[in-house]
Chains A and B, each alone.
Chain A
Amino acid sequence: MLRHLLGRVLLFILGLLVTSLVIFFTLRVLPGDVTQVLGGIKATPQELETIRLAHGLDHSLASQYADWLAGLLRMNLGKSLITSAPIGDELVSKFQVTLPLCLLALVISLSIGIPLGIVSALRHDRHLGAVISFSAQSLAAVPALWAGLLLVVLFGKGVGIVGVLPSQGFPRDGWGQPGKAFTALLLPALTIGIIEGAVVLRFVRSAVLEAIPQDYVRTAAAKGLTKTKALLLHGLPNVSLAVISVIALQTAGLITGAVLVESLFNLPGVGRMLVADVGNRDLVKVQSEVLFLTGLVLLIGLLIDLSHQLVDPRQRRLTT
C-alpha cells in the first residue's frame, strides 16, 4: 500500500516536472527574442537591455528555468512581463471565479449524467434507452460555444426568449453579493455542465451495461430481487468506482470549457486571463497559468487514484 502510494506521488511530481519543461521550452526555445516582442520593433538597444535585466532574461535559458522552478517552490509564480504585477495574486483572485464555475458545472454534469446514464443502460433494449443514448451522442458533438449562445438566446437577460438570467459579466465586488455572483455563474456553468453531462452519461451507461451480465447481479436476481433492484443494490457500488474516475477525466474538459465559456460570458476568471495574456504575449504569465491549470489536472488525477485505493475494498485487501 505504502509503496504504491509513494510511487503514485513520485509519478505526480515527475508529471509536474515534465509539463513544466514542455511549457517553458515551447514558450522560450521556439520563438525569437522575448524582449524584442515586449519592446516592440522600435525599441532601442538600451531599452531592450533594461527590459532584459528587469526580468532576468539575460540569464541562460537553463538558469531562467531553474529560477522559475525555485520561485514555484516558494509559491512565487513570478511577475508579469508587461505590468510587473505579481502573477500569484491575480491568479488567486481570478480563481475565485473559475473554481466555483467548474464546481457548479461538475455538479450539473453529474446530476444529469448519472441518473440518465443508469436509466439508458437499464432500458438499453427499449426506445427510451436508445433515445437517451443517441441524444448524448449528439450532445457530445455540440461545440460548447454554441450551447452557450443558444442558452443566451433562450434565457439571457435582455436578448433571451425567457430572459431571466444575466448573460454577461460578473458583479464588480465579486462574492460580496453571493446571490448575484451565483446567478452570474448559472448560465456559464449550465453550458459546461450539459456538454460534460453527455460525457458522464456515456461513461456511466457503459459501466452499468458492463455490470448487467455479472454473476453477482444474477445471483441477487436469483435470490428474488427484481432485475432493476439487483442492479441498483449490487451493481451500483461497482459502478460508483467508474463514476469517481470519470471525474478525473472531466477535469480537463471542465478547464477547457471554462477557458471558452469565460470568454463567451465575459467572466473575470483564469481562463479569460490566459486568453488575454496569450494575446499580449506575456510569456511569463502564460507559462505560470498553463502550469497551474495542467498541474490542477495532474493533482486531481492523483487524488482520484488515491481515493480509488480507499473506496475499493478489493484494492485495499490486495495491497495491505
Chain B
Amino acid sequence: MTSNPRVRPRLPYWAHELFLRPTGAFGATVLFLLLASALVSLFWTPHPLLQANPDQAWLGPSSQHWLGTDQIGRDTFSWLLAGSRTAVLVVTFSTLLAAVIGTTFGALSALAPRRVGAPVAVLVDIFIAFPVLLLAMLLAAPFGGSIGVVVIAVGIGYGMNIGRVTRPEILRISQSDFMLASRASGVGTVRSILRHIVPNVGPIFIVQLSMVAATSLLAEAGLSYLGYGAPSTTPSWGRTLATSQQLIGVQPLSVLWPGLTITLTVLALTLLGDALREAVDPRLKRSALRVRSDAETHPALAPLPDAPVLAMTASEISR
C-alpha cells in the first residue's frame, strides 16, 4: 500500500484505526496525561510532597491548594500528581508479568504434548479460583506490604487468567485447516506460530492485558487502603483515597478527587484496550471505515491485496 506515493498514510494502519474511535482517542489521551504527569512530578510539584503544614490542615479547594490539603496540611493536588508515578509503575510491571505468565501457561497448556498440557490446564483452572486480593494478602503476611506485592499478586493472578482465556483460542487455531495447510507446505513451527497464532490470539491478548492494567490500579488502591500496598511515604492514589476518609466530616469534597482520578484512568485503560483490539483484529479490519464493501461479504470479489485501488479507498474514506 505504501508504494503509492499519493496516498501514503502518515501513521501505521493500526494507529490510524485507533484514533478514529472516540474510545481509543480518549484512552490514549488519558494514558498520555498519566505518563506526562508522572514525568512532570519527578521534577516539579506545586507544593513539596513530604512537608507537613499543621496550620494549613483540612483546607478546602483554594487558589493556593487547588484540591485542598489533608490532615497534616499536605497539598492534595501534588500528591495526586505524584501518585501517577506509582500508577505507571504498577500498571507497567503487573502487565508485563501477566503477559509473560499468561503466554507461558496459555502456550504450554495448548501446544505442549497432552501429557504436559492437560495437567497444566487443570492447574490453571484451579489457580484462577484464587482471588487476587487474597493472593496479595498471602504475600503481605510474611513479606509486609509493598508495591512489589501488588505487582506479583496481580501478575500471577491475572496472568493465569490470560492463560485460561487464550488456551481454547490457541487450540482452535492450531487445529484449524490453515495451520494444517501451512504445515503441509513446509512452514516451520516457529514461523507458523508467528504468522498464524500470534495475529489471531493477539486481539484477545490485548483486551486481557488492558484489563490487567486496569485492575492492577484497582488492586493497588485497595491494598494501599488496607495498608499493604504503597508505604505511607510513597505517593499513591489508594493512599490519598484512604486519607480522604479521615477528612469526610470536614471536607466531603476531598473524597471526590482521588476516586475520580482512579476511575478515569481505569476506564481509559479498558476503553483503550477495546479500541486497540478492534484496530488490530484481522477479522474486524475495515469495520471502522463504516463501508460494508462487497469484498467483505463476497471474498471472491475482493481485489488483490496490493492493488492500488484498495489503497486509494482505504485511506481516502478513513480520512
Contact between chains at A290 and B248 (CB < 8 Å): no
Q: Which residues of A contact B242 (CB under 8 A)?
A: 145
Q: A11-B122, A138-B267 are in contact. Are A149 and B137 (CB under 8 A)?
A: no
Report the bound CA distance from A159 to B249 in whole Å: 5
Contact between chains at A143 and B262 (CB < 8 Å): yes
Query: Is A252's beta carbon under 8 Å from chain B?
Result: yes
Q: A149-B245, A255-B134, A263-B225 are in contact. Are A138 and B141 (CB under 8 A)?
A: no
Kindly identify, within residues 1 to 37 of chain A, every residue whose CB is under 8 Å from any CB belonging to chain B: 11, 14-15, 18-19, 22-23, 26-27, 30-31
Main secondary structure of the interface of A (DSSP, over half): helix
Query: Is B138's beta carbon under 8 Å from chain A?
Result: yes
Main secondary structure of the interface of B (DSSP, over half): helix
- With CB as the reference atom, state the residue of chain B lying closest to A15: B126
Contact between chains at B221 and A281 (CB < 8 Å): no
Q: Which residues of B contact A298 (CB under 8 A)?
A: 126, 129
Query: Is B81's beta carbon under 8 Å from chain A?
Result: no
Report the bound CA distance from A258 to B222 in whole Å: 12
Kindly identify, within residues 137 to 163 of chain A, every residue whose CB is under 8 Å from any CB belonging to chain B: 137-138, 140-146, 149-150, 152-153, 156, 158-159
How many chain A residues touch the partner (CB < 8 A)?
48
Chain A min CB distance to B185 (Å):
36
Contact between chains at A149 and B270 (CB < 8 Å): no
Kindly identify, within residues 87 to 143 of chain A, every residue whose CB is under 8 Å from any CB belonging to chain B: 137-138, 140-143
Q: Which residues of A contact B259 (CB under 8 A)?
A: 142-143, 145-146, 149-150
Query: Is A301's beta carbon under 8 Å from chain B?
Result: yes
Contact between chains at A143 and B222 (CB < 8 Å): yes
Chain A min CB distance to B226 (Å):
5
Number of A-B contacts (CB under 8 A): 138
How many chain B residues touch the partner (CB < 8 A)?
44
- With CB as the reference atom, state the residue of chain B lying closest to A272: B226
Report the bound CA distance from A297 to B127 in whole Å: 11
Chain A min CB distance to B141 (Å):
5
Report the bound CA distance from A209 to B258 in whole Å: 35
Contact between chains at B137 and A290 (CB < 8 Å): yes
Contact between chains at A260 and B248 (CB < 8 Å): no
Q: Which residues of B contact A80 (CB under 8 A)?
A: none
Query: Is A274's beta carbon under 8 Å from chain B?
Result: yes
Q: Which of B123, B252, B267 contacts A153 (CB 8 A)?
A: B252
Query: Is B13's beta carbon under 8 Å from chain A?
Result: no
Q: Which of A149, A259, A277, A297 contacts B255 (CB 8 A)?
A: A149
Query: Is B162's beta carbon under 8 Å from chain A?
Result: no
Report the bound CA distance from A228 to B218 in whole Å: 37
Report the bound CA distance from A279 to B222 in whole Å: 15
Query: Is B151's beta carbon under 8 Å from chain A?
Result: no
Contact between chains at B267 and A137 (CB < 8 Å): yes
Query: Is A293's beta carbon under 8 Å from chain B?
Result: yes
Contact between chains at B142 and A256 (CB < 8 Å): no
Q: Which of B123, B141, B262, B270 contacts A283 (CB 8 A)?
A: B141
Query: Is A278's beta carbon under 8 Å from chain B?
Result: yes
The digit string for B215-226, where 1 denotes a CB below 8 A from any CB of A, is: 000100110011
Chain B min CB distance to A294 (Å):
6
Contact between chains at A278 and B267 (CB < 8 Å): no
- With CB as the reference atom, state the residue of chain A lying closest to B145: A278
Contact between chains at B137 and A260 (CB < 8 Å): no
Kindly identify, within residues 204 to 258 of chain B, every residue whose CB is under 8 Å from any CB belonging to chain A: 214, 218, 221-222, 225-228, 238, 241-242, 244-245, 248-249, 252, 255, 258
Query: Is A264's beta carbon under 8 Å from chain B?
Result: yes
Report the bound CA distance from A275 to B82 in whole Å: 27
Report the bound CA distance from A189 to B139 in whole Å: 27
Contact between chains at A294 and B129 (CB < 8 Å): yes
Contact between chains at A31 and B255 (CB < 8 Å): no
Chain A min CB distance to B254 (Å):
10
Contact between chains at B139 and A18 (CB < 8 Å): no
Chain A min CB distance to B91 (Å):
14
Query: Is A181's beta carbon under 8 Å from chain B?
Result: no
- With CB as the reference atom, state the residue of chain A lying closest to B250: A159
Query: Is A286's beta carbon under 8 Å from chain B?
Result: yes
Q: Which residues of A contact B262 (CB under 8 A)?
A: 141, 143, 146
Q: A18-B126, A275-B226, A279-B227 are in contact. Are A297 and B131 (CB under 8 A)?
A: yes
Q: A256-B133, A286-B141, A294-B134 are in contact. Are A137 and B270 (CB under 8 A)?
A: yes
Closest 3 pairs between A and B when the two form their complex, measured CB to CB: A146-B259, A31-B142, A141-B266
Q: Can you list 20 residue pairs at the A/B interface with Cβ under 8 Å? A: A14-B126, A27-B138, A137-B267, A143-B259, A145-B221, A146-B241, A149-B241, A150-B255, A153-B255, A252-B129, A256-B222, A260-B133, A260-B222, A263-B226, A264-B225, A275-B226, A278-B140, A278-B141, A279-B227, A294-B130
A143-B259, A293-B134 are known contacts; what are 10 more A-B pairs with Cβ within 8 Å?
A: A14-B122, A27-B138, A144-B222, A145-B225, A145-B259, A146-B255, A153-B248, A259-B133, A263-B226, A297-B130
